[in-house]
Amino acid sequence: ADVSRSFEGVDALQGVSLEIHRHEVVGLIGPNGAGKSTLVNILTGFDRPTSGAVELDGKAITSWSAHRRGRSGLARTFQHSHAFRQLSVRENVEVAALGVGSSPRRARATATEILGLLRLDRYADAPAGSLPHGDERRLGVARALATDPLFVLMDEPAAGLPEAEVPEFAAVVRSVRDDHNAGVLLIDHNMALIMDVCDRLLVLDQGRTLAEGTPDEIRENLDVVAAYLGESAVHEGDP
Ligand code: ADP
Ligand code: MG
């Protein structure tokens, strides 16, 4: 809550508060440099706030390591691939499950299920480093899901996905919410995807909260629309 983060001379976040509940998809949008990735880093323990606190189920976890947060149900994807490039796609997913304490046998079963869900099974034995960009993004989501998370924070997971695969990706996000009962934070610049899949949106600009609300409310907030979503994005998002 009320998180701020300054890098030398740059206030990347200034008093931003965000609450994510299980079983909802919260969209985090805003122009490049708004502070979206910084917020994800702070929530998942890859960075520390200059001031403010992070809580999980009412417990202060600000001092917890990223690994401890991961084991407690906080999973994330990265804007840039963090896969082990020489390991196979399947091994990457298994390693993620092992990392939160799964038995090898259970990790294998988990990997099979998740590779199927994300349609990565055809690449199961290929080195992760050989994946096309869009599939690499999906591998990031697969590795997050392999930890059986309570919350999944996704930093531009659909960037580079061919347009034709976006609806299928939207279905995966809904499935994380509806079948895994997880809370999802989704960062993306594809407004059609965001408006389609999110229950609630937070709009950041230059480290501050610019607007918060349902997709309909955000769409009606003309200032936001004009400045950040752009004409085409608004029409694209309309039914
Ligand atoms: P977004 O993900 O919304 O594009 P970021 O959270 O990556 O934005 O960045 C927010 C601001 O913080 C930017 O001005 C960026 O240059 C700055 N910033 C992010 N990470 C660092 C860092 N490690 N060191 C210095 N400045 C940083
Ligand atoms: Mg970013």
Same domain membership, residue 187 and residue 90: no
Asked if residue 173 is part of any domain, the answer here is: yes
The predicted pLDDT at position 6 comes to 67
Whole-angstrom distance, CA of residue 30 vs CA of residue 202:
9
Asked if residue 78 is part of any domain, the answer here is: no
Whole-angstrom distance, CA of residue 5 vs CA of residue 51:
7
Collapse the DSSP code of 196 into the 3-class scheme (helix H, G, I; strand E, B; otherwise coil) and give the result. Answer: helix
Contact 173, 25 (CB under 8 A): yes
Angle between helices 104-117 and 89-99 (to 10 degrees): 130
Same domain membership, residue 232 and residue 171: yes
Asked if residue 153 is part of any domain, the answer here is: no
Asked if residue 4 is part of any domain, the answer here is: yes
The atom number, within ligand 1, closest to the CA of 5 reads 12
Same domain membership, residue 50 and residue 10: yes
pLDDT digits (tens, 9 = 90+) for 43-102: 999 999 999 999 998 899 999 999 999 999 999 999 888 899 999 999 999 999 999 999
Total domains in the fold of the chain: 2
Q: Which helix (H) or strand (E) holds 202?
A: strand 200-205
The atom number, within ligand 1, closest to the CA of 38 reads 6
Whole-angstrom distance, CA of residue 117 vs CA of residue 57:
28
Same domain membership, residue 162 and residue 227: yes
Question: What are the two backbone dihedrals, phi and then psi, of residue 75, each rounded to the nearest 5 degrees?
Answer: -115, 155
Domain boundary among 118, 148, 178: 148
**Ligand 1: which of 7, 47, 208, 210 to mutate, most ligand atoms within 8 Å of CB?**
7
Asked if residue 182 is part of any domain, the answer here is: yes
Q: Which of 103, 139, 104, 134 is nearest to 120 (CA)?
A: 139
Same domain membership, residue 138 and residue 43: no
User: At 231, which CATH number?
Assistant: 3.40.50.300
Q: Which of 51, 25, 59 is nearest to 153 (CA)?
A: 25
Cα 136 to ligand 2 centre (Å)? 17
pLDDT digits (tens, 9 = 90+) for 106-139: 999 999 999 998 989 999 999 999 998 888 889 9
Using left for φ > 0, alpha for ψ between -120 and 50, and beta otherwise, residue 208 falls in: beta
Determine how many CB atoms are found less than 10 A away from the CB of residue 98: 18
Same domain membership, residue 179 and residue 62: yes
Whether the predicted pLDDT of 239 surpasses 50 = no
Q: In sequence order, what E strands does 64-182 have?
A: 74-76, 151-155
Whether the predicted pLDDT of 175 surpasses 50 = yes
Same domain membership, residue 205 and residue 93: no
Ligand whose nearest atom lies closest to the CA of 29: 1
The predicted pLDDT at position 2 comes to 60
pLDDT digits (tens, 9 = 90+) for 154-172: 999 998 888 898 998 999 9
The predicted pLDDT at position 130 comes to 94
Q: What is the span of the domain harbouring residue 102? A: 84-148
Same domain membership, residue 170 and residue 52: yes
Asked if residue 227 is part of any domain, the answer here is: yes
